[in-house]
Amino acid sequence: MHTSLTATARLILFSLYVISMLSTTATAESSSIVEAGGTQRTRRPIVTGTSVLGIKYRDGVMLASDTLCSYGTMAKYKDARRLVPVNPVTLVGGGGEYSDFQEVTALLKRNALEDKCTADSLYEEDNSVECAKEVWNYLRAVMYNRRNKMNPLWNDLVVAGFHIEGATKVPFLGLVDKIGTSYEDNVVATGFGSYLALPILREKWRPDLEEGEARALMEDCLRVLFYRDCRALNRIQIAKATSDGVLVSEPYEIDTSWDAASFVSPKGGLEGDGGW
Amino acid sequence: MAVTYGEGVDSGVIVGADSRTSTGSYVANRVSDKLTPVHDSIYCCRSGSTADTQAVADYVRHFLAQHAITLDSKPQVKTAAYLFQKLVYNNKDRMSASIICAGWDPVNGGSVYCVPLGGACVQQDFAIGGSGSTYIYGLMDASYRVGMSKAECIDFVKKTISHAMARDGSSGGVIRLAAIDKTGVERFFVGGNDLPFTPQ
Written as tens digits, the pLDDT of chain B (200 aa) is 888 887 666 789 999 999 999 999 999 999 999 999 999 999 999 999 999 999 999 999 999 999 999 999 999 999 999 999 999 999 999 999 999 999 999 999 999 999 999 999 999 999 999 999 999 999 999 999 888 899 999 999 999 999 999 999 999 999 999 999 999 999 999 998 888 887 66
Angle, helices B77-90 vs B50-71, to 10°: value is 140
Give the amino acid at B116.
Answer: P
User: What's the burial of A67, exposed, middle or buried (CB within 10 Å: 0-12/13-18/19+)?
Assistant: buried
Q: Would you place residue A220 in the very low, low, confident or very high pLDDT band (cuts 50, 70, 90)? A: very high
Q: What percent of chain A has pLDDT over 70?
A: 82
Q: How far is residue B174 from each of residues A220, A258, A264, B189, B194, measured CA to CA in Å?
A: 20, 7, 9, 7, 9
CA distance B145 to chain A (A): 28
A42 catalytic residue (yes or no): yes
Question: Is residue A251 pLDDT above 50, yes or no?
Answer: yes
Question: Is residue A5 pLDDT above 90, yes or no?
Answer: no
pLDDT digits (tens, 9 = 90+) for A122-179: 776 566 788 999 999 999 999 999 999 999 999 999 999 998 887 888 999 999 999 9
Residue B17 φ/ψ, nearest 5 degrees: -160, 160
**Residue A270 to residue B30, Cβ atoms within 8 A:** no
Q: How far is residue B10 from each of residues A139, B123, B132, B177, B182, measured CA to CA in Å?
A: 68, 19, 31, 19, 7
List, in sequence order, the alpha helices (H) in chain A: 7-23, 98-117, 132-148, 193-196, 198-204, 211-228, 261-264
Does any CB of chain B come closer than 8 Å to the CB of residue A274?
yes
pTM, two decimals, is 0.85
In DSSP terms, A57 is beta-bridged to A60
Q: Which residues of A touch B191 (CB under 8 A)?
A: 258-259
Q: Three-state SS for A188?
A: strand
Taking the C-alpha atoms of residue A252 and residue B180, their distance in angstroms, rounded to an integer, is: 39
Residue A192 is nearest to which of B22, B25, B187, comparing CB atoms? B25
CA distance A57 to chain B (A): 29
Does any CB of chain B come closer than 8 Å to the CB of residue A252?
no
> By the 8 A CB rule, do B103 and B81 touch?
no
Residue A74: how many other CB atoms lie within 10 Å: 17
**Residue A263 to residue B31, Cβ atoms within 8 A:** yes
State the pLDDT at residue A27.
39
Q: Which residues of B touch A230 (CB under 8 A)?
A: 20, 22, 24-27, 169-170, 172
Question: Is residue A194 pLDDT above 50, yes or no?
Answer: yes
> By the 8 A CB rule, do A93 and A54 touch?
yes
Q: Three-state SS for A200?
A: helix
Residue B150: how many other CB atoms lie within 10 Å: 17
ipTM of the complex: 0.87
DSSP 8-state symbol, B41: T
- Which residue, among A262, A232, A230, has the nearest Cα to A64 in the 3D structure? A232
Residue B67 φ/ψ, nearest 5 degrees: -60, -40
**Residue A256 to residue B192, Cβ atoms within 8 A:** yes
**Residue B33 to residue A268, Cβ atoms within 8 A:** yes
